[in-house]
């Protein structure tokens, strides 16, 4: 498992960020410089990917003890995969920080400069002085106010696992070499007539089985107040507007420490269901606060790149204000599913369940949508003029053209001169703009920067 290390001089907030990312108080924090001397390690999840997070001792050579701590910290950095170098945003840039950062950059690993304690506008203005460090990936955060953390996680995420698997890389290369004469993507799959596979997922006892029964209009799943009633996936077909929906009610998922016996098989079966699904209904219990487990389950939909609809169940006697607050909480917690529509239902009472059918069709159409190449390129040209691609160390980064090479979900290749330098934040900007322009609500969009030729050097 890959290792992510927090490194920096004493009292910059490494242990506080460690606790924040671990979501529990593991490391001792205090205002006393050098509180952390040994390294703390814990496994964390960033969206749907796991890694080992390391909180290191502060880099300080003021006495023999701290010199030993520093030596151990630097050794841990050499053995880590991703380095997060933290500085104190309340202070002006220090020459010592610059020296340490440059030495870490020589390790040739993904590295980010984290400016902590940026609590107000004055701090933010001061932080711009750190531009002199010349590092591309720089993040302003405040651990105490929990701001800027999301962008940091999105920096780490793509480094934890290659975005393209070998077989996907081969598929992309084959496609680009065999474009049709009009430059359009063609797929032999009959998406307009095949059954739409819909997996129903969520924590135990959120009402998934009741929802399935309401959707197929019969008591197909056993329903009870006992958590974990459903173990085997339950399949049922339903026809709506001449389209066949294949619903699958999966077993409710518990916290890892509470998964016992046969439920371990149920969890594995849930993942196998999602591997075959097109759309997932993420069921949440509106009568309870969202939990970390809800976030983890939501990550499964992201992991398998499925179309997704968030279903707020048990929505009885709620107000418009309740709806606004619930949506805000969901958007705050599930930022990586910002594209997912939210619908409120009462599966037990059968209220608004019928609206899910048309929503599934809409999301599925977006999930399998083919974008005309000429329109895609006109739009890419337009948005890159409005918001130019940042240069890479003074060198121009440009997109020659864009082409869709897959659906379910839509997959778009950006043929570029320097694909490895396209920052994740700019890619996110392009994805958001593409979704808005071509109406791709409810579906993830895969955007892959690619050299014009397999062996072409970046210029």
Q: Is this model's pTM higher than 0.85 or not?
A: no
Return the structure tokens found at 216: 């197929």
What per-residue confidence (pLDDT) applies to 433?
96
Determine how β-strand 234-240 pairs with β-strand 111-116: unpaired
The torsion defined by the Cα of 220, 224, 229 and 234, in degrees rounded to 10, comes to 10
Mean pLDDT rounded to a whole number for the chain: 82
Does 20 score more than 70 pLDDT? yes
What does the pLDDT average to over 274-293?
A: 91
Q: Which domains does the chain have, with CATH numbers?
A: 3-160 (3.40.50.300), 166-187+369-451 (3.30.300.20), 199-367 (3.40.50.300)
pLDDT of residue 107: 87
Any alpha helices (H) in 217-282, and if so which ranges?
262-276
Reading phi first (left if > 0) and then psi (alpha if -120 to 50, else beta), residue 193 is in alpha
Per the DSSP assignment, residues forming a β-bridge with 86 are 8, 114
- Dihedral sign of CA atoms 73, 75, 79, 85 in order: positive
If phi > 0 it is left, if psi is from -120 to 50 it is alpha, else beta; for residue 211 that is: alpha
- Please report, in range form, the residues annotated as the binding site: 8-15, 55-59, 116-119, 202-209, 249-253
Phi then psi for 247, rounded to 5 degrees?
A: -85, 140
Binding residues for GTP: 8-15, 55-59, 116-119, 202-209, 249-253
pLDDT tens, 116-174? Answer: 999 998 888 888 899 888 898 999 999 988 899 989 998 998 888 644 444 455 455 66
Q: Looking at the predicted structure, is the pLDDT value of residue 218 above 80?
A: no
Q: What is the pLDDT of residues 359-387, one digit of tens each?
A: 999 999 999 999 999 999 999 999 999 99
Report the percent of the chain where pLDDT is more than 70. 78
Residue 293 contacts residue 259 (beta carbons within 8 Å) = no
């Amino acid at each position: 498992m890959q290792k992510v290390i927090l490194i920096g001089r004493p009292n910059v907030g490494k242990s506080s960020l460690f606790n924040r990312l671990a979501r529990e108080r593991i490391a001792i924090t205090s205002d006393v410089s050098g509180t952390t001397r040994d390294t703390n390690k814990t496994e964390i999840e960033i969206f749907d990917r796991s890694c080992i997070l390391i909180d290191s001792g502060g880099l300080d050579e003021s006495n023999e003890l701290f010199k030993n701590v520093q030596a151990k910290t630097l050794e841990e950095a050499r053995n880590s995969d991703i380095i997060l170098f933290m500085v104190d945003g309340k202070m002006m840039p220090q020459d010592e920080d610059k020296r340490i950062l440059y030495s870490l950059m020589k390790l040739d690993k993904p590295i980010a400069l984290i400016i902590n304690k940026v609590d107000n506008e004055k701090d933010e203005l001061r932080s711009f002085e750190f531009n002199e460090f010349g590092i591309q990936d720089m993040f302003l955060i405040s651990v105490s106010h929990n701001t800027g953390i999301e962008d940091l996680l999105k920096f780490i995420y793509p480094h934890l696992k290659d975005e393209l698997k070998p077989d996907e890389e081969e598929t992309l290369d084959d496609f680009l070499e065999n474009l049709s004469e009009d430059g359009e993507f063609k797929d032999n799959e009959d998406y307009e007539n095949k059954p739409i596979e819909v997996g129903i997922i969520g924590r135990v006892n959120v009402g998934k089985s009741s929802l399935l029964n309401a959707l197929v209009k019969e008591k197909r799943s056993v329903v009870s107040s006992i958590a974990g009633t459903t173990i085997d996936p339950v399949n049922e077909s339903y026809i709506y507007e001449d389209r066949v929906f294949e619903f699958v009610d999966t077993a409710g998922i518990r916290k890892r420490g509470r998964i016992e016996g046969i439920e371990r098989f149920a969890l594995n079966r849930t993942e196998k269901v999602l591997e075959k699904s097109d759309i997932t209904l993420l069921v949440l219990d509106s009568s309870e606060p969202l939990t970390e487990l809800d976030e983890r389950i939501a990550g499964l939909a992201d992991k398998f790149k499925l179309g997704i609809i968030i279903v707020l169940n048990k929505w009885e006697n709620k107000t418009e204000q309740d709806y606004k607050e619930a949506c805000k909480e969901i958007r705050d917690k599930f930022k990586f599913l910002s594209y997912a529509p939210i619908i409120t239902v009462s599966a037990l009472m059968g209220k608004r369940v019928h609206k899910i059918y048309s929503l599934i069709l809409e999301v599925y159409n977006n999930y399998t949508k083919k974008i005309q190449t000429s329109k895609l390129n006109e739009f890419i040209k337009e948005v890159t003029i409005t918001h130019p691609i940042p240069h890479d160390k003074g060198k121009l980064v440009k997109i020659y053209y864009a082409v869709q090479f897959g659906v379910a979900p839509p997959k778009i290749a950006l043929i570029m001169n320097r694909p490895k330098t396209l920052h994740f934040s700019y890619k996110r900007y392009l994805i958001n703009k593409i979704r808005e322009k071509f109406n791709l609500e409810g579906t993830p969009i895969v955007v892959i920067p690619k050299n014009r030729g397999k062996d072409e050097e970046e210029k």
